[in-house]
A and B are shown apart, each in its own frame.
Chain A
Amino acid sequence: MDVHRLIKMANEIGAFFEAEPDRAIAIEGVSDHIRRFWEPRMRRELLRWVDEHDGQGLTELVLAAIQGNREKLTPQTIASP
């Protein structure tokens, strides 16, 4: 997946939650949204970007949301039949 597209999408999610005055809720909101709506390969690519490029290009809120919720965001899929 084009990671720059994913970065843009993640930042747009973050822009919505920036308005939330409680930072912890905002972080939870971002990570929860990505977990609930992003397919595993998208999340894997985003996590890889954070690991390999320190999340360059991601806003502070989004980076905090990813770093603080790694386990939640790491895909859990059942094995292929």
Chain B
Amino acid sequence: MYSVKILDAGTPARVSEQLVTLEIDGVEVTVPAGTSVMRAATDAGVRVPKLCATDMLESFGSCRLCLVEIEGRKGYPASCTTLVEPGMKVRTQTPKLANLRRGVMELYISDHPLDCLTCPANGNCELQEMAGVVGLREVRYGYEGANHLKSEKDTSNPYFTFDPTKCIVCSRCVRACEEVQGTFALTVDSRGFASVIAAGPTDFLASECVSCGACVQACPTSTLMEKSIIDNGQPDHSEVTTCAYCGVGCSFRAEMKGTEVVRMVPNKDGKANHGHSCVKGRFAWGYATHPDRIRVPMIRKKITDPWREVSWDEAINYAASEFKRLQKTYGRDSVGGITSSRCTNEETYLVQKLVRAAFGNNNVDTCARVCHSPTGYGLKATLGESAGTQDFDSVLKADVIMVIGANPTDGHPVFASQMKRRLREGAKLIVVDPRRIDIVRQPHVQAAYHLKLLPGTNVAVINALAHVVVTEGLLKEDYIRERCDLKEYEKWKAFIVQPHNSPEAMEAMTGVPAAEVRGAARLYASAPNAAIYYGLGVTEHSQGSTMVIGIANLAMVTGNIGREGVGVNPLRGQNNVQGSCDMGSFPHELPGYRHVSDPAVRAQFETAWGVQLQAEPGLRIPNMFDASIDGSFKGLYVQGEDVAQSDPDTQHVTAALEGLECLVVQDIFLNETAKFAHVFLPGSSFLEKDGTFTNAERRVSRVRKVMPPLAGLADWEATVALSNALGYPMHYDHPSQIMDEIAQLTPTFHGVSFEKIDRLGSIQWPCNEKAPEGTPVMHVDEFVRGKGRFVITEYVPTEERTTREYPLILTTGRILSQYNVGAQTRRTANVVWHDEDRFEIHPHDAEQRGIKEGDWVGIKSRAGETVMRAMLTERMQPGVVYTTFHHPFSGANVVTTDNSDWATNCPEYKVTAVQVSRVAQPSEWQRKFTAFTHLQDKLLSEREREKA
């Protein structure tokens, strides 16, 4: 349930232009049509007793507590299921109603433990509250009758318990799992007195439950209760902050006792998540205080030396002196930095400022390089802005939803729940993915088309879709004429209608039957509102940027940009990868996506920063590695990234890291990259600092400090200290001042401030004079670049081809319970769902190789070899294999290659030619990795401690 301080209005709010005025207990109230009497009563300041109703769910009318009397109506209707009508006169309190309510409560309490004082919900239990509200004084039935008080508690889930003895079978949990999450994992088993809540025939952990916590949130008693509350007691205060996991950017209340987080509860006022969450944000926050947290800065001369704990001053001064030495010896351009996609906007802004102003070069990049850099390139080229066009709520107005190269139920689960809600309402779904991902078929959701293409053929498919639209006359000519560059359009049209772009011509290459492509194209083009959502299955290819351009072309030619329900929506992976890009983390762009060569933009920053800036682009992350191996790049400041695990061609990356003379890593754990570091600056988690994150909707939300930084400094403070030590002065008293500077220098952020974010809850940029409260939907009247630009997207097959030696294609991705490199989630109980990366292979391919479920298999590519355990599954198609990259020992990126997107060098993680065979031991890389890890663990455990 919600903390008692949060008002639960009983049923969801309604939106309607038509208003209804009625009278409740003599008080006149006006509400939108479609509102329940219960909610209208709440608006009138009257709280009608309730148990089965909650404003996160549609009304159900089972508990019979919320009965009211309505003038002119017989009986005692339930106020939660009764809709307001004009002139209605309602009484919520009468002697008859009081008797009925007491009777209902007597029945509930006759089959309920009387252990309030030791119950974890004590003081925050709706059943307890209702007993008091109705004035329950006796239970005339006694307690000797049949009851459920000996039912067994289910403690299988690592984060919450299910105690059926406390259950009043209000079914809120069942309905939450259906309506909010869309998993339908729970049910009411049996009927009448025998009714019990069941998670299938097994316990919660073995069921289809995805541990999102919606049922725990909905439960009015302690039947479903967080283990952290059971262990620690009720919180005493809370602070609203933003999740540090994925790009949905859920708003949470961090509920605290002192400076200790007791639980994270989704904030129902959160505009990205509307009170919902996933297992990671809701429960997997314990990593912030994990024993592995490094709390003291450390330095060492060589990576084979033990670490030495030092003060912040000594660590910072050592790092600065090393960078200065390197620049003096090897040149100004021999050093650089990588900003974090998990740190705040203010922090990434400072790192890129340090690189540009203190180092004096543009060698700064961010992890978007390896995920959505093609989005930035492609959408800028076609629409004029490097970001998605809609807010998440836009999906609720879509009639057709196309999901390309994304797995939202795993990667963006809270958004996926919203999408599933719309699909259950009747919107149609097209999935373009080599795998049979979960969204293809879910309870009450089935894709109309699943274009199961071969990895690497995205552009062939998008061209074929566009070919159908144009040649069958499904295009929106008025829209194109009014809003797009006609010269570029005619050039593109001449290209797209060519027969080689037809579904029939592309079929052999893509593996998708032409009829399916034609059907999908017609469905998308003929919908009143059609939206495209895409992920790294689009961008992480040698034609990633081309594909993003192709998506924009398709959306423009069908008129699907510039209003709600449509759009081009990149599902950004990390909590602040959008923000780090916005803040100028790319080597070629200053904040606000303006090229460093633009003299007017550069002059603006030079004036503000008091330093001359370089006009030439700097090194991208892959180029930094190449330059290190080449000997011209010697120093790197890495904030909150783990390139040794996340970047492709691991052996190349680690060789590059070994080539550095000074690697400074700022992170909360000693991650894989830090094992090659010379300076370790202990980082701060999202709970330990103030700032902002920007999610995939361009929504800038507050991150609020709820505990002091464990290492003494927030990340931004460490960057300021380093900059000062390098000789470029920085001074800020609070991150809000950094945001003020960002706003002053960045047109799309001109109207953003901490004060405005606090007032509005969050802001979607652009936020400036034209849009003082932000911009949910972009390109409404015209595209940011003026006219939308069609660009030719010839399909160029990847160079990564299958051969006799490497006959299978490996594609990679992520899963629900683990996050990115797993540094956070592996240090939580989420390992119960995924304690190792598994290698997914179709049974046919497995049988050909004598591989059985659970066998150790060697996966070999031209880049390297690793070993994982096999999982046979038909969700892969024959010829395509899959794995995740959440555990360092898996070495998934040892086999991925140096192929990359032509425009941005975004790695082609999604297409690697491999061979697979049964093996009996780890690979050579894994043996070396284990030995190196043991060495580094030893060097850490034997570190010289700082003297007190």
Using a CB–CB cutoff of 8 Å, the interface residues on chain A facing chain B are 1-2, 5, 9, 12-13, 15-16, 18-21, 33, 36-42, 75-78, 80-81
Cα of A30 to Cα of B166 in the assembled complex, Å = 69
Q: Is there an interface contact between B792 and A19, defined as CB atoms closer than 8 Å?
A: yes
Our pick among A5, A9, A15, A76 for the contact of B616 (Cβ within 8 Å) is A76
Contacts of B494 in A (CB 8 A): 21
Given A18-B794, A19-B794, A39-B363: A80 and B630 interface contact (C-beta under 8 Å): no
Contacts of B902 in A (CB 8 A): 9, 12-13, 15-16
Q: Is there an interface contact between B626 and A5, defined as CB atoms closer than 8 Å?
A: yes
Cα of A62 to Cα of B647 in the assembled complex, Å = 28
Interface members, chain B 791-827 (any A CB < 8 Å): 792-794, 796
Q: Is there an interface contact between B796 and A15, defined as CB atoms closer than 8 Å?
A: yes
Q: Is there an interface contact between B614 and A77, defined as CB atoms closer than 8 Å?
A: yes
Q: Is there an interface contact between B632 and A41, defined as CB atoms closer than 8 Å?
A: yes
Q: Is there an interface contact between B333 and A41, defined as CB atoms closer than 8 Å?
A: yes
Cα of A39 to Cα of B360 in the assembled complex, Å = 14
Using a CB–CB cutoff of 8 Å, the interface residues on chain B facing chain A are 327, 331-333, 360, 362-363, 491, 494-495, 542, 546, 587-588, 595, 597, 612, 614-620, 623, 626-627, 629-630, 632, 792-794, 796, 898, 900, 902-905
Closest chain A CB from B14 CB (angstroms)? 50
Q: Is there an interface contact between A1 and B588, defined as CB atoms closer than 8 Å?
A: no
Q: Is there an interface contact between B615 and A9, defined as CB atoms closer than 8 Å?
A: no
Cα of A42 to Cα of B626 in the assembled complex, Å = 10
Could you write out 14 A-B pairs with CB less than 8 Å apart? A19-B495, A19-B792, A33-B903, A36-B588, A36-B595, A36-B617, A37-B617, A37-B904, A39-B618, A40-B333, A76-B615, A78-B615, A80-B327, A80-B331
Given A18-B794, A76-B615, A80-B360: A42 and B623 interface contact (C-beta under 8 Å): yes
Closest chain A CB from B933 CB (angstroms)? 29
Q: Is there an interface contact between A16 and B546, defined as CB atoms closer than 8 Å?
A: yes
Chain B residue nearest to A2 (CB atoms) is B626
Closest chain B CB from A56 CB (angstroms)? 19
Q: Secondary structure of the B side of the interface?
A: loop
Contacts of A39 in B (CB 8 A): 333, 362-363, 587, 616-620, 623
Contacts of B616 in A (CB 8 A): 39-40, 75-77
Chain B residue nearest to A79 (CB atoms) is B332
Cα of A15 to Cα of B903 in the assembled complex, Å = 11
Q: Is there an interface contact between A38 and B903, defined as CB atoms closer than 8 Å?
A: no
Q: Is there an interface contact between A1 and B618, defined as CB atoms closer than 8 Å?
A: no
Closest chain B CB from A5 CB (angstroms)? 6
Chain B residue nearest to A16 (CB atoms) is B902
Cα of A43 to Cα of B632 in the assembled complex, Å = 14
Our pick among B360, B587, B792, B793 for the contact of A81 (Cβ within 8 Å) is B360
Contacts of B597 in A (CB 8 A): 36
Known interface pairs A5-B898, A75-B616, A76-B616; 19 further A-B residue pairs with C-beta atoms within 8 A, sorted by A's residue number: A2-B629, A5-B626, A9-B902, A12-B902, A16-B546, A21-B491, A36-B588, A36-B595, A36-B597, A37-B588, A38-B617, A39-B587, A40-B333, A40-B616, A76-B615, A77-B614, A80-B331, A81-B332, A81-B360
Chain A residue nearest to B798 (CB atoms) is A12
Cα of A77 to Cα of B494 in the assembled complex, Å = 42
Contacts of A12 in B (CB 8 A): 542, 796, 902
Closest chain A CB from B483 CB (angstroms)? 22
Closest chain A CB from B869 CB (angstroms)? 34
Contacts of B331 in A (CB 8 A): 80
Cα of A33 to Cα of B612 in the assembled complex, Å = 24
Contacts of A18 in B (CB 8 A): 794
Q: Is there an interface contact between A41 and B627, defined as CB atoms closer than 8 Å?
A: yes
Chain B residue nearest to A29 (CB atoms) is B791
Chain B residue nearest to A20 (CB atoms) is B792
